[in-house]
Amino acid sequence: MDISKLTIVEARRALDAKEYSALDLTNAYLDAIRAKDGEIHAYLEVWEKSARDEAKTADEKIRRGKASTLTGIPIAIKDNILVEGRVASSASKILEHYVATYDATVIKKLKAQGAVFLGRTNMDEFAMGSSTENSAFGPTKNPHDTKRVPGGSSGGSAAAVAAHMALAALGSDTGGSIRQPASHTGLNGLKPTYGAVSRFGLMALGSSLDQIGQLTHTVADSQILFDAICGHDENDGTSLPDMKKNNAPMKRVIGVPRIFLEKGTDSDILACFEKTLEKLRAKGYTVVDIDLPNLSYSLAVYYIIQPAEASTNLARYDGIRYGLSMQAPSIQEVYSKTRGVGFGPEVRRRIMLGTFVLSSGYADAYYRKARSVRALIRADFTRAFESVDAVVTPTCPSPAFKFGAKSDPLAMYAEDIFSVPANLAGVPALSVPMGTVVSDDSDLPVGFQIIGPHGGEETLFAIGNDVEKFEV
């Protein structure tokens, strides 16, 4: 068994053909973790024993001819998704010892299929960041160049899959946290339509932006995991009703928001992007320049709305209800001491930013204004999708950067320029590999982002497949 080339599709075939057992497969991944994760640090915790038990149960299911698509498939889970009885820390000191009391809906669905859970993966604390350097438990390294970040905030999930220490992984994406690490590690990453996948059991960051999604080696694998985790959930008030797959014929027209792309994007990334457009033209797509006039406000709008929602969501970590609790003479001091010790610098920065933009004197100037502009951004997309199947951009303006290179928070925020619009508009977006660029003698993967209309995941997979099929 060669796990360095394995996909879910191939593993399913081999498991069903009894070429190896689910236990063999799980053991192969556990061996890979033991061999490599000391250096990469993708995992915060590996669940060896339960993974083997789940693999044995999967083998039994396969033997009885009762296997589902994901039976026996070893996957990794981001540390902000609850698995009953397991620590879920969001890579924060404040939740270091917090044990989840129930399964997130996505976990329930994967358990029902008999998937194998290898462990929980590292991330930026509370999913705030673009590099995984904000983890309270140390950064994760990029398997393509260990001097560089894997992207964030789902950097542990991406590194685990890219280094073949999991066949696939779940992440969460509030402003790019699945797509960006996918881009930096050469994987596929989907941020589903807002409401397509239940958020029940996902630790809330920006509730109007958050979605769970998957990191995989291929588009076909992405589609399999998406089908497994999507669907209506009455436990999530923003969950969409089950939708019929949109099988409307595609126009085969792709839109490029040209003016938006050219400011501040590395020239070699733009060159890869142009090459990918060429491939799509060769596949019969028409590529047109389009104007989404409000897109350039996305980053400013995101960094008002996201901290605003984060500051209210994180109010629950008060030293009383969850996790860390510092002793102090008064309740007020319990709050401030616990939050001062428990939260890292980026989390504190966002709480302050969010509290400021929501405060009574400033909410009109910042928060409400940002919400109005968000509506304009959404309208730009709605208008664009009247004439194009998808809007495409590079996933990130630069390839994976070296540790410490973006220590200025504003430089880090600028990394999210292409990923935040899809979250603001609630539309789905897929990052697929579009080749590599060379930096300091390293070949660094870069991603092509395909943004679709609400519920347009099938369109993204179709276009993603056309891009992927050109890869050798």
d(C-alpha 132, C-alpha 391), whole Å: 28
d(CA 324, CA 342): 7
Q: What SS3 state is found at 143?
A: coil
**Contacting ligand GLN within 288-307 (CB under 6 A):** 306
Nearest-approach distance from CB 94 to ligand GLN, in angstroms: 17
**Could you say which residues in the range 185-244 bind ligand GLN, by CB under 6 A?**
205
At closest approach, how far in Å is the CB of 202 from ligand GLN?
Answer: 11
d(CA 89, CA 203): 9
Exactly one of 78, 93, 108, 109 is catalytic; which is it? 78
Work out whether strand 429-439 and strand 188-191 pair parallel, antiparallel, or are unpaired: antiparallel
List the one residue from 74, 114, 119, 129 that touches ligand GLN (CB under 6 A): 129
For residue 177, indicate whether it is catalytic: yes
Within 8 A by CB and 6+ apart from 139, the residues are 41, 122, 131, 132, 133, 149, 155, 403
Determine, following the binding rule CB under 6 A, whether residue 308 of this chain makes contact with ligand GLN.
no
**Exactly one of 21, 90, 121, 130 binds ligand GLN (CB under 6 A); which one?**
130
Beta strands 390-394 and 442-451 are: antiparallel
Residue 51 or 178: the one with the smaller Cβ distance to ligand GLN is 178
Active site residue 5: no
Comparing CB distances to ligand GLN, the nearer of 44 and 462 is: 44
**With contacts defined by CB under 6 A, how many residues of the chain interact with ligand GLN?**
13
Contact with ligand GLN (CB under 6 A) among 416, 457, 466, 468: 416
- CA atoms of 145 and 133, how far apart (whole Å): 15
- Among 466, 398, 392, smallest CA distance to 430 is for 392
Q: Taking CB under 6 A as the rule, which mask of x and - marks residues 152-191 in contact with ligand GLN?
A: -x-------------------xxxxx--------------
Kindly report the length of the chain.
472
Identify which range of 121-129, 214-222, 286-294, 463-471 contacts ligand GLN by CB under 6 A: 121-129
| Secondary structure of 91-118 in HEC code, one letter for each residue | CCHHHCCCECCCCCHHHHHHHHHCCEEE
**Cβ distance to ligand GLN smaller for residue 416 or 468:** 416
- Which of 22, 23, 28, 127 lies at the binding interface for ligand GLN (CB under 6 A)? 127
Question: Which residue out of 130, 131, 135, 153 is catalytically annotated?
Answer: 153
Q: Where are the beta strands (DSSP E) in 138-279?
A: 168-173, 188-191, 211-216, 253-256
Contact between 435 and ligand GLN per CB under 6 A: no
Give least dist CB 206 to ligand GLN, A. 8
User: Please, which residues have CB within 8 angstroms of residue 17's CB and are 6 or more apart in sequence?
Assistant: none
Q: Which residues lie across from 442 on neighbouring strands? A: 439
Q: Kindly tell me which of 21 and 92 has the beta carbon lying closer to ligand GLN.
A: 92
Burial status of residue 177 (CB atoms within 10 A of its CB: 0-12, 13-18, 19 or more): buried
Closest to ligand GLN by CB, 11 vs 160, is: 160
Q: Which residue is nearest to ligand GLN (CB)?
A: 177
Which region among 10-18, 105-113, 125-133, 244-252 touches ligand GLN (by CB under 6 A)? 125-133
Q: Kindly state whether residue 83 participates in binding ligand GLN, applying the rule CB under 6 A.
A: no
CB atoms within 10 A of CB 327: 9
Among 128, 161, 261, 390, binds ligand GLN (CB under 6 A): 128
The single residue of 90, 177, 222, 239 carrying the catalytic annotation is 177
Could you confirm whether 78 is annotated as catalytic? yes
Select from 92, 377, 411 the least CA-distant residue to 209: 377
DSSP 264: S
Catalytic residues: 78, 153, 177
Site of interaction with ligand GLN (CB under 6 A): 127-130, 153, 173-177, 205, 306, 416
